[in-house]
Structure 1
Amino acid sequence: MRPSAARTRGGGVVTVPLWSAVRATAAHVDKLVAALPEPGARLPGERAEIAEAKDAARTMRMRFLEAQADAVYDRLTDGRTKGLRIAELVEAAATEFPGLVPTAGQLAADRGRRQADKEGYEIDQGIFLRAVLASPRAGAHLLDTMLRPTARALRLLPEFLRTGVLETASVRVERRDGAAYLTMCRDDCLNAEDNQQVDDMETAVDLVLLDPQVNVGVLRGGTMTHPRHRGRRVFSAGINLKSLHAGDISLVDFLLRREIGYIHKLVRGIRTDDAPWHSPTVEKPWVAAVETFAIGGGTQLLFAFDHVLCASDAYLSLPAAQEGIVPGAGNFRFGRATGPRIARQVILQGRRIRATEPDARLLIDEVVEPEEMDEAVARAVGRLRGPAVVPNRRMLNLAEEPLDEFRRYMSEFALQQALRLYGEDVISKVGRFVEEARPTCPVPS
């Protein structure tokens, strides 16, 4: 960026003094990184030196963005006339504002390391995205942009409209009689979530919402080959701890994209130029069928569904405190469904809720015997086909989850989750989980 104040198309001004301080502290960090050994080989004194330098740089980024987030966002999006998804936004920021967020090269270098051996550049992305989402103007525009269908979904749409079938690495979709059945099929690791699964799920959700032949979506876990649950359907084991240990869980492409990408679309629908004049989005009701267990992110998902079925021998859990991370928007939605006491018991203390417990009815709609799940799914789909379902679910979601409250939560989540990714306790815990789980993945908490 030129060393002078610059007015953006949206009218904001990026000022020089704060920006100069950001550039100077970022350059100092880069100089130290180049001079020091790889992160995993640093001595205690070297680790303290680089930590102090990073803290100084992050302090300046925070100050700069608290004052300039709208101006920065306007420059990157041409005054909010251009929609950039979060991955595109951080990439554009790295080019336009060197030192504000990590470069592609820095991220690539970290991507080749275990989580314990990374520099932690994603924390700087978290600082940036926190500021963007905190802004009512920039944050609302970003959330709206994330409701657009992905390029991958648009590319696959003609074939899906013709066949009604999608096969990806982790999700299978089949359209039958006006309903779309999504099956999570990572049978080797109990539907544990990783970057690929998030991409596949958003693609699948987009196609369901874009298909005019579909009026209800259903999500269910597939039949497992994992030794511990071979031959049984499993909904989800949550985050893939093996991938997290290996450094393959991304803040932008997994942890944030998941929440403000496909789960946000489950709640709000998809924004498309073909939407009806009376609504900016196309929405559809969704059914979830939980068998065996829904752990972590699996339980988080359920809050976005209009009808949740649970097998009588299944359980739900959200072991965020044990894993050391923030459970997505679970903290935002859980207490709204159950009240604060149960939310704290589950999130902070690791309580499991069995489907047959009275408290489970605050999280699920029906408990059915495992052999009766197919019939229960069919009944639920039938009940959600009515023409008044979509407008009423829209009004319920507006009342239960105001968009500005969601935006503010996701703003703080962007930074807190970035920090948790690099917490020493998280790195230690996932290392133990992986050692205990070998050669399979993951360990159900």
Structure 2
Amino acid sequence: MAYQNLISELKENILYVTINREKALNALNKDTLAELADVIAYAGKTDQVRGVILTGGGEKAFVAGADIKEFSDYSGKQGEDLAKLGHDQVFNAIENSSKPFVAAINGFALGGGLELAMACHMRVASDHAKLGLPEVTLGLIPGYGGTQRLTQLVGKGKAIEMITTANMITASAAETIGLVNYVVPQSDLMSKAEEILNLVKQRAPLAVSAAIKAVNTAVNNKNGYLTEIEEFGKCFETADFKEGVAAFVEKRKPNFQGK
């Protein structure tokens, strides 16, 4: 698929996805969401992709929110459908992907932008980034999992404060409350995201996928312990497990094949 709003490039088993609407502060419109859905599906089914870095074009914004003009006259049913479609094809698709997604937050991450970052498995922010969920200033609430994922990441009290005040917080404050994993200078943002995925690339792909599934189950009101037990057992049937044990015994680096 030829993308109009994204730049997608696969290098050394890392898929780099840049939302390329810099003049619009990379706001999420329907076309951009459709393209994101396509590239997420591609990442999931392509063995050469071992991880994804998601970022925004330019240095001002990761994603400054959704394109409000597109849904300003929606009915309640249209609003509900909009949220469900985004959940299924983009936000939940990222969270449930077998490949780890790292959000490289290069500026404002507001509304749908912060919700997109929170759907990723890990977040690295530049030191000038600002994060927030301003939806209540529009008479809305966060519509792409914002109320759920923010609560999971920072706890109920802080989540309610951020959502109901609509205040932005700094990257350093976001790191303090666990909203982002790391804060780095803008010049180091991509290299830090790469550093994380380069470590993940050394691990067994099927085990990485199983771990993501088990952790997701733990935070989504399901029996995470049962999922962990099942996924742990499945790992014993993989060639990667046999290779990992052999490499440990032979005191060498493992050569995982994702099988």
Residue 175 of structure 2 contacts residue 183 of structure 2 at CA under 8 Å; is this kept in 1?
no
Matched, 1:217 2:23: no
Of 148, 151, 155, 1:332 maps to: 148
Residue 95 of structure 2 contacts residue 121 of structure 2 at CA under 8 Å; is this kept in 1?
no
Of 168, 180, 190, 1:352 maps to: 168
Q: Which position in structure 2 is the counterpart of 1:399?
A: 218
Query: What is the SS of the residue equivalent to 2:28?
Result: coil
Query: What is the SS of the residue equivalent to 1:326?
Result: coil
Moved over 6 A (4+): none
Residue 194 of structure 1 contacts residue 254 of structure 1 at CA under 8 Å; is this kept in 2?
no
Task: Supply the distance in 2 between the matched residues of 1:361 and 1:376 (Cα, whole angstroms).
Answer: 20
Change (3 A) 1:259 1:358: closer
Amino acid at match of 1:364: V
> What is the CA distance between 1:403 and its match in structure 2?
6.0
Of 189, 211, 234, 2:61 maps to: 234
Deviations 1:256-302 (A, max 9, x none): 21112221111223xxxxxxxxxxxxx11111100111000111122
Task: Supply the distance in 1 between the matched residues of 2:24 and 2:74 (Cα, whole angstroms).
Answer: 17
Task: Map 1:186-201 to 2 at 5 A.
Answer: 186-201=21-36
Task: Supply the distance in 2 between the matched residues of 1:378 and 1:197 (Cα, whole angstroms).
Answer: 24
Task: Supply the distance in 1 between the matched residues of 2:50 and 2:44 (Cα, whole angstroms).
Answer: 8
Matched, 1:321 2:156: no
Amino acid at match of 1:346: M
TM-score, normalised to structure 1, is 0.46
Residue 288 of structure 1 contacts residue 307 of structure 1 at CA under 8 Å; is this kept in 2?
yes
Q: Which position in structure 2 is the counterpart of 1:378?
A: 194
Q: What is the number of residues matched between the two proteins?
A: 218
Matched, 1:289 2:95: no
Deviations 1:54-84 (A, max 9, x none): xxxxxxxxxxxxxxxxxxxxxxxxxxxxxxx
Matched, 1:257 2:79: no
Task: Map 1:18-417 to 2 at 5 A.
Answer: 156=1, 167-223=2-58, 232-245=59-72, 251=79, 254-269=82-97, 283-328=98-143, 329-357=145-173, 360-385=176-201, 386-387=203-204, 388-402=207-221
Change (3 A) 1:253 1:199: farther
> What is the CA distance between 1:393 and its match in structure 2?
1.4
Residue 289 of structure 1 contacts residue 377 of structure 1 at CA under 8 Å; is this kept in 2?
yes
Residue 87 of structure 2 contacts residue 93 of structure 2 at CA under 8 Å; is this kept in 1?
no
> What is the CA distance between 1:253 and its match in structure 2?
6.3
Change (3 A) 1:169 1:255: farther
Query: What is the SS of the residue equivalent to 2:55?
Result: strand
> What is the CA distance between 1:359 and its match in structure 2?
5.7
Change (3 A) 1:360 1:261: farther
> What is the CA distance between 1:374 and its match in structure 2?
2.4
> What is the CA distance between 1:233 and its match in structure 2?
4.8
Q: Percent identical across equivalent pairs?
A: 23
Amino acid at match of 1:302: A
Residue 220 of structure 1 contacts residue 288 of structure 1 at CA under 8 Å; is this kept in 2?
yes
Structure 1 stretch displaced more, 177-186 or 376-385:
376-385
Between Structure 1 and Structure 2, which shows a larger proportion of strand residues?
2
Deviations 1:161-190 (A, max 9, x none): xxxxxx412222111110111110112211
> What is the CA distance between 1:246 and its match in structure 2?
6.3
Task: Supply the distance in 1 between the matched residues of 2:152 and 2:180 (Cα, whole angstroms).
Answer: 14
Change (3 A) 1:354 1:196: same
Task: Supply the distance in 2 between the matched residues of 1:247 and 1:188 (Cα, whole angstroms).
Answer: 25
Task: Supply the distance in 1 between the matched residues of 2:9 and 2:123 (Cα, whole angstroms).
Answer: 20
Change (3 A) 1:235 1:212: same
Change (3 A) 1:298 1:360: farther
Amino acid at match of 1:292: G
Task: Supply the distance in 1 between the matched residues of 2:85 and 2:93 (Cα, whole angstroms).
Answer: 11
Deviations 1:371-405 (A, max 9, x none): 1112212201112222132221111101111469x
Task: Supply the distance in 2 between the matched residues of 1:253 and 1:360 (Cα, whole angstroms).
Answer: 35
Task: Supply the distance in 2 between the matched residues of 1:247 and 1:344 (Cα, whole angstroms).
Answer: 26
Structure 1 stretch displaced more, 299-308 or 197-206:
299-308
Task: Supply the distance in 2 between the matched residues of 1:400 and 1:236 (Cα, whole angstroms).
Answer: 25
Task: Supply the distance in 2 between the matched residues of 1:172 and 1:257 (Cα, whole angstroms).
Answer: 22
